[in-house]
Every structure is written in structure tokens, then in C-alpha cells.
Amino acid sequence: NAGVTQTPKFRVLKTGQSMTLLCAQDMNHEYMYWYRQDPGMGLRLIHYSVGEGTTAKGEVPDGYNVSRLKKQNFLLGLESAAPSQTSVYFCASRRLGDNSPLHFGNGTRLTVT
Amino acid sequence: KQEVTQIPAALSVPEGENLVLNCSFTDSAIYNLQWFRQDPGKGLTSLLLIQSSQREQTSGRLNASLDKSSGRSTLYIAASQPGDSATYLCAVPSTPLVFGKGTRLSVIA
């Protein structure tokens, strides 16, 4: 039972480069989320999705785009990476229902030079 | 806007000690509260989810309580072990979740 899988685990980008982070869950969860975690800032929500084909902005969406073409996958894109996007990115998912717990992936550590 | 605070930011205790981690939130109109554990370089693992209708939730040596009226939750760890060393975070639902910054716990053998 894989749960929530994130790829890649590590990545170094140069300023201006683009990349896509992939999140896959095998639990048939409706809700999926992208967070970034920075020292002293805690976890901040970037974008989220409440179902296939739908996405919404979170607390810090600027500079990121997302897509949810399939229920099990949630992609996070950086079109033109900036050093301020150096962070650890976490994907999470949960099933429908107010009291369903959140399941996290192990994160992607991104460095933008 | 919902704000979640965890104090202290770091805690070091000797093995075997019972300890309490604190979480406070500003908006008491919540329907649940979750406690998570995060090990270095890893994602978050859900430990306990307390529904608003519950006062306590237990899992092994962990006991979480929720007092909505005072805007507080506590996570009690009994007979702490070095393997409990990690960062513990609480979160409350607010489109969709607001996290505290966590308490980094070190249990010294």
C-alpha cells in the first residue's frame, strides 16, 4: 500500500527553469493538496483540489500552477523558478467527509539557485 | 482568520517522563483537530483526529484532548521513549487546514 507518492525526491533548478512535481495517491481520495514547508513559516497551502478536474488557490499560489486530470494524480508546476521557491514541497490527500484524516507524502526538496 | 499556536517550540525530556504538548487556536468554530508527527526529512503522519463532539482520543501511549470553548488542545505522551523524538504539529480545518509550527521533541536516553 503505497499511500501518497511524490516524485522527484530532490531537485536543483536554476532561476528561470521550469519543472513539474508529481503526486500520486492510491487510496481513491477526492481531496488533494500541495503545501510548502519553510523554516519559521510552517506549512503553507499552495493549491488544492476537491475532485478530478477542479483546482483552487490556497494561501501562497503565486508562481505555481496545478492540474488534476486524473483523480489519483495532482501535478504542481513551476513555470519560471525563483530562489524564493526553494523549499520542501508536500502533497497530501484525504477522502470525502469532514472528519477524514490527511495523508502526506514524504516531500520533494527543491533548491533554486 | 484562524491562527494556531504551539508552545513550546522545542522540548527536551529524559526517557520515561510523561509530557504534554500544547496547541491553541483562535476560532473555536472547528469540527475537528488533528495531531501529526513529522520525522526529519519525512512527511507528516497523522496521529490522532479528535472530532468536535469528542473530548479525548487515545492511541497507545498518546492521548489528545480538545476544549473548544477555551481554544486549546493537548497531546499527552506517557512514558516517553527516544523513538518519540520528532516534531509534533496540530492542525484545525479552515479552508482547508491551518497548521501550527510544531513542537520539536527530543527524548534523551
pLDDT computed for residue A79 by the predictor: 92
Shortest distance, CA B47 to any CA of chain A (angstroms): 9
Q: How confident is the model at residue B24 (pLDDT cuts 50, 70, 90)?
A: very high
Mean pLDDT per 10-residue interval, chain A, length 113 residues: 91 97 96 94 93 94 97 97 97 89 94 97
Shortest distance, CA A81 to any CA of chain B (angstroms): 22
Return the closest-CA partner of residue A3 out of A22, A24, A20, A21.
Answer: A24
Over residues B36-90, the pLDDT tens digits come to 999 998 899 999 999 988 889 999 999 999 999 999 999 999 999 999 999 999 9
For residues B48-58, one letter each, b for 16 or more C-beta atoms within 10 angstroms of the residue's C-beta and e for the rest, the string is bbbebeeeebe
Chain A residues interacting with chain B (CB cutoff of 8 angstroms)? 4, 31, 33, 40-43, 45, 48, 90, 92, 98-99, 101-107
Instruction: Give the three cell numbers for residue B84.
Output: 518519540
